[in-house]
Amino acid sequence: MNQTSPAPILVFDLDGTLADTARDLIATLNVLLTREGLPTVAPAAARDLVGAGAQALIERGFALHDAPLPPERIQPMVADFLAHYEAHIADETCLFPGARAALDRFREAGFRLAICTNKPERLARLLIDRLAVADRFDAICGRGSFPVHKPDPQMLHLTVAAAGGDPARMIMVGDSRTDVDTARNAGAPVIAVDFGYTDTPVAVLGPDRIISHFDELWAAAQELLA
């Protein structure tokens, strides 16, 4: 690979793509529900609840019990959620099988790697550090890193620029409509994992490739770059 030109880059979503965060996110939601005298929800509900940020998770969780929140209560509850979640961010969260080995393979091959998530940047960095893979990434960008967030294509373009990757050879890797739409809006190919958090099967979303395990990522990326 010519080291004088920008390297190809893989840009990963975080929740439901690289990391299985559902149990810690749902556990934090359940703290709020219990405080309000409402039933808790099971981690299996993550596919329908997780993926659009803390506020949406809270609103969806309360809506399950026909308990919509008054507007003035939403932001204080989001603050409570984030504080509790930060303290328990990696109690049960782990990388999906094969993710660490896949990151290492791409790094050894000269790829740039980045994270582009709608999770607040501070929490994304904390989680990646706790999962002991922070050194694999050239950029970790989240909500607050830039004036925009996914699915705005600028979020992806700015992440690639921060990582020093080649925008003509970038691939998005995600698990949801938001990730597919971000890639499409940015004119980039997208690989979807089918084990993440989405209430719509990823095949319906029309990604360029679908993988069921990180062992399949190398071949999928090589096909798209070819």
In this predicted model, what pLDDT tens digit does every residue of 13-46 receive, in sequence order? Answer: 999 999 999 999 999 999 999 999 999 998 877 6
Give the β-pairing of 165-174 and 7-12: parallel
Would you identify the CATH topology of the domain 22-87? DNA polymerase; domain 1 (1.10.150)
Q: Which tens digits make up the pLDDT trace of 187-210?
A: 999 999 999 988 789 999 999 999
Q: How many CA atoms lie within 13 A of 177 on its CB side?
A: 10
Dist. CA 208–CA 73, nearest whole Å: 41
Strands (E), the chain: 7-12, 19-20, 94-95, 112-120, 139-143, 165-174, 190-193, 209-211
The CATH 1.10.150.240 portion of the chain extends over 22-87
Which of the residues 13, 15, 24, 175 is marked catalytic? 13
Q: Does domain 7-21+93-225 have CATH number 3.40.50.2020?
A: no
Establish whether 175 is a catalytic residue. no
Is pLDDT at 2 greater than 50 in this prediction? no
Residue 17's closest CA among 206, 222, 218, 191?
191
**Percent with pLDDT over 70 in the chain:** 97
